[in-house]
Structure 1
Amino acid sequence: MKMKALQDLDIFVRTVDTGSLSATARALDMTPAAASAALKRLELELATPLLVRSTRSLRLTPEGAVFLEHARLALSTLGEGMQALSTGRHQVQGVLRLAASSDLGRNVLLPWLDDFQALHPQLRYRLTLSDRMANMFSEPVDAAFRYGKPRDSSLVALPVAPDCQRVLVASASYLEAHGAPSAPEELAKHDCLCFMLGEELNDRWTFSRNGQALTVPVQGGHVGNDGDVVRRWAVAGRGIAYKAWVDVAQDVTQGRLHVLCPGWNTEPTPLYMVLPDRRQLTPGLRLLREFVAAACAALPTPPTHNKPSQRPFIAEKTPRSRHGQ
């Protein structure tokens, strides 16, 4: 491909990202007419319109949306190759556009990303936090950290913490006031902190023991659509939460939360790095995945039995229902 065509690709991608042909022209120190000519040249080469343009707005055509991700990948690959040639060795640098769930991102990934960036100072990252799974084919995200395999089978899910499971947790203040459930069935007598994603309410918690599965309907006075809010409620003593171990391992280690019903098996919730295409696993993302996987592996394992010294695990009071009965 000629360098002129590569410049046209760059103009196309920049115009989509900025939403403005004029802004792209200013950024590249060229006239709007030259930028417009580049887009027309690219569309002529592809024999298809990529953008619908008017005096006030522009939008991708369906064909343009498909071509956009291929253009991004081509420019990214070319950039890496040019950098490797110019330095004589491969440099890990650039911007990593990452997405993560709220709790994982704020309380776990943030300090890990700081440590990772200290090792690779030429890398920068943009972090988007949302419990909604990003559309990785239309949103500016290179990789997302998510629990559970994505429903979209076209996405690539690379394991980061494949053995992660949920744990029942509550604070010392809640347990001293309400007692600790000795089995999942007793959750019906407790305030349970439920997470809601969209219209889907996670109010049926699954456990197993001796090969027998048990699903427990739960309810309580607090329902949130943000995983970090649910964790904060648990730390504040508002009720019992059912959280991924990676999210609460530090809280348990530092005594803010305590694990309940440790004799029961809980829901597996493996953590993955999700990519739209395996070819987009750049050296920077590969190193980040290895770093986060090592950090997850270094976390302590959940308690497997009650320790007498951990007083909050012992139900010293008769458990009360959420209605005070």
Structure 2
Amino acid sequence: MLRFDDLQLFVRAADLGSLSAAARVMDLSPAVASAALKRIEQQLGTRLLARSTRSLRLTAEGEGFLEYARAALSSLDEGRRLLASSQDHVSGVLQLSAPSDFGRNQLLPWLDEFQREYPQLTVRLLLGDRIADLFRQPVDIALRYGEPEDSSLIALPIAPDNIRVLCAAPSYLARHGEPRHLEQLAQHNCLLYMLGSRVHDHWSFHDAKREVSLTVSGDRFSDDADVVRRWAVAGVGIAYKSWLDVSGDVLAGRLRVILPELRGERTPLNLLCAHRAQLSKPINLLREMLVARCATLTAQSPERLNAG
């Protein structure tokens, strides 16, 4: 197979009328240039250039081949320009899965902005709290809380410092009082999230010295995290939620953080994919945006504000 750089050398030598001049232009030693010309002539089975100590000229075969060599190099350059252009152009279909609460209340407006910036991009969004099967479902990436159980998946951090916070609506706290100690949660209606058959009723915290935890109870369960958030905003109980999910409600005054001196469970948000080859330019651009937006939100978490 003919080498690209060998073709370039042949065309340069023909244009300049000198193999040594072509070698200088291409930053090659005379020996390397001579070997390259010999290699291409051997592969073609004919002499392309007639050389003497003072001159160089095209043979009849060389003159005939020169036209095809120029055309081949031109086609390769055009292909490289086309490839570079397609890599700079953000288009196609972006297929992703996201948790219900984060997806509806944070991700949706961010995706709207993302598509305004890249109007040639089509987004396919699947919302749900169950782990997406990235090998079977029609998605390229999934956003999920916690570390992936499947070690074969690629996990890229989006919000590594995200934590859970205790929160309730001001109306609920006005009716039932605000817990001042963790043990007082036993006297309150705790809004519970369930994934499959597992109910997340064991809440853990860290009080700067040790880990503390307790089992809570309540009259409402849901396998949709957004429903739990809506119940909390409606004032029917206390929720233990990801800060990313409730930050908007807390900052707007719809929810209030309870016992902010306790550090909640770490709940990192990761971008999951089955293969690194799936990390296309649109996905990398989306990841950069998500990292920046989530960093802004986590900087406003009770833990960061208390530390400041």
TM-score of the superposed pair, with normalisation by structure 2? 0.70
> Which residue, out of 264, 284, 287, partners 1:286?
284
Instruction: Establish whether residue 303 from structure 1 lines up as the match of residue 302 from structure 2.
Output: yes
> Which residue, out of 124, 127, 130, partners 1:126?
124
Query: 2-side partners of 1:244 and 1:87: how far apart?
Result: 40
When residues 306 and 116 of structure 1 are mapped into structure 2, their CA distance, relative to the original with a 3 A threshold, is closer
- Show CA shifts across 1:217-236 (max 9, x none): 00101111100000000000
Aligned residue for 1:216, secondary structure, equals strand
Query: 1-side partners of 2:305 and 2:275: how far apart?
Result: 44
Contact 2:263-2:303 within 8 A present in 1 as well:
no
AA in 1 matched with 2:144: R
| Matched residues, number | 227
When residues 304 and 179 of structure 1 are mapped into structure 2, their CA distance, relative to the original with a 3 A threshold, is farther
When residues 86 and 267 of structure 1 are mapped into structure 2, their CA distance, relative to the original with a 3 A threshold, is closer
> Which residue, out of 119, 134, 146, partners 1:148?
146
Contact 1:193-1:220 within 8 A present in 2 as well:
yes
Q: Which has the higher helix share?
A: 2
Query: 1-side partners of 2:177 and 2:125: how far apart?
Result: 39
When residues 245 and 290 of structure 1 are mapped into structure 2, their CA distance, relative to the original with a 3 A threshold, is same
Superposed CA RMSD in Å reads 2.1
1:226-305 correspondence to structure 2 within 5 Å: 226-299=224-297, 300-303=299-302
Instruction: Establish whether residue 165 from structure 1 lines up as the match of residue 163 from structure 2.
Output: yes
Q: Which residue of 1 is the match for residue 214 of structure 2?
A: 216
Displacement after TM superposition at 1:88 (Å) = 6.7
When residues 304 and 137 of structure 1 are mapped into structure 2, their CA distance, relative to the original with a 3 A threshold, is closer
Displacement after TM superposition at 1:84 (Å) = 4.3
Query: 1-side partners of 2:224 and 2:81: how far apart?
Result: 40
> Which residue, out of 108, 111, 114, partners 2:112?
114
Displacement after TM superposition at 1:305 (Å) = 10
When residues 136 and 185 of structure 1 are mapped into structure 2, their CA distance, relative to the original with a 3 A threshold, is same
AA in 2 matched with 1:237: G
Query: 2-side partners of 1:181 and 1:88: how far apart?
Result: 57
Displacement after TM superposition at 1:86 (Å) = 8.4
Where structure 1 has 5 or more consecutive residues not aligned to the other structure, the ranges are 1-80, 308-325
Contact 1:83-1:91 within 8 A present in 2 as well:
no
Where structure 2 has 5 or more consecutive residues not aligned to the other structure, the ranges are 1-78
When residues 305 and 90 of structure 1 are mapped into structure 2, their CA distance, relative to the original with a 3 A threshold, is closer
When residues 210 and 96 of structure 1 are mapped into structure 2, their CA distance, relative to the original with a 3 A threshold, is same
Displacement after TM superposition at 1:212 (Å) = 1.0
Aligned residue for 2:302, secondary structure, equals coil
Query: 2-side partners of 1:257 and 1:106: how far apart?
Result: 18
Displacement after TM superposition at 1:83 (Å) = 9.8
When residues 137 and 290 of structure 1 are mapped into structure 2, their CA distance, relative to the original with a 3 A threshold, is same
1:11-160 correspondence to structure 2 within 5 Å: 84-85=82-83, 87=85, 90-160=88-158
AA in 2 matched with 1:236: A
TM-score of the superposed pair, with normalisation by structure 1? 0.67
